[in-house]
Chains A and B, each alone.
Chain A
Amino acid sequence: MEENEIFDKIVAIVTPLAKDKEALSNVKRESDFLKDLQVSSARLVDIILAIEDQFDVEVDDSEADKVETVGAAVDLIKAKLA
């Protein structure tokens, strides 16, 4: 799967959970889920679960703990699918 396709799928997952819609419209790899997109910490768990479903991968808590940005999520999925 191409990186931009992974990126778009993650943005689609985050869209209903992000409070800052302006940051969402300018989302980039560096966008921080908590600080920039203002996703609540509980909803980060939902994002991880949705990633597991969408990409058919398993993400353990130590991996999830490092997923702070959209780019980190893309890299994690790329590594899982490689």
Chain B
Amino acid sequence: MTPSAQLSVGNDLVDLNRREPVLHQRFIERVFSQSEMAAVECSMANLWLHWAAKEAAYKMIKRLEPETVFSPVKFVFDSSLKTLTYNDNVYSCLCEIKPNYVHVVCASQPELLKSSALHLWINDIGDQDPSEAVRNLAVERLAALLNISNKQLSVSPPARGMLPHIFLAGSKMEHLLSFSHHGRFVACCCYLMN
């Protein structure tokens, strides 16, 4: 059994409908590697899928290696294999491409993505505060899973790139959480530890 300290998951979501100014002309060359270019130039959904995979992997790895720098071009996504390579390590990803958003979960071990202990929750929150909405989503769904009251759970707001922690009556729980929000959507990925 892999020790819990070596397990990690990270997620990232991009709202495909959010209207924003056009990307800087050097964005693609700064962010994507040569091997990703063909897929990235295929469609905006593909471009953002690659971005989300890089962000998800960064969050996942940073939990295990806090000194990790987000150098997007070094996180290389293969959309055919649904794998992310960083520093010669290959990680598996779970990818969702919907009309309104793309969402990626990246895991330290591929079996985590197939486990019934992995839960993904995505909400359309409209104009609500996304940081509060994603914490509320995590507390509500996790409390239901654990069959306890919402009031017993709290979630620490994560620092940039760091995963949030969940607390039961003030005591830190070992379950793995990752949050993402963009535009109208919030996403929570939760891996329940034994």
Contact of A49 among B21, B27, B73 (CB under 8 A): B27
* A9 contacts the other chain (CB 8 A): no
Chain A, 28-42, contact with B by CB distance < 8 Å: what is the 0/1 string?
000000110000111
Contact of A62 among B24, B26, B69, B182 (CB under 8 A): B69
Chain B, 64-96, contact with A by CB distance < 8 Å: what is the 0/1 string?
000001111110000000000000000000000
Contact of B31 among A17, A45, A68 (CB under 8 A): A45
Q: Which residue of A lies closest to B68 (CB)?
A: A65
Complex-state Cα separation, A41 to B72, whole angstroms:
11
Q: Report A73 CB to chain B, min CB distance, Å.
A: 14
Q: Report B131 CB to chain A, min CB distance, Å.
A: 7
Chain A, 59-72, contact with B by CB distance < 8 Å: what is the 0/1 string?
00110110010000
Contact of B21 among A17, A34, A62 (CB under 8 A): A17
Interface centre among A16, A17, A49 (most CB of B within 10 A): A49
Complex-state Cα separation, A42 to B71, whole angstroms:
12
A46 touches B24 (CB 8 A): yes
Chain A contact residues, CB within 8 Å of chain B: 16-17, 34-35, 40-43, 45-46, 49-50, 61-62, 64-65, 68
Query: What are 7 A-B contacts with C-beta separation under 8 Å?
Result: A42-B51, A45-B72, A46-B23, A49-B30, A61-B71, A61-B74, A62-B69
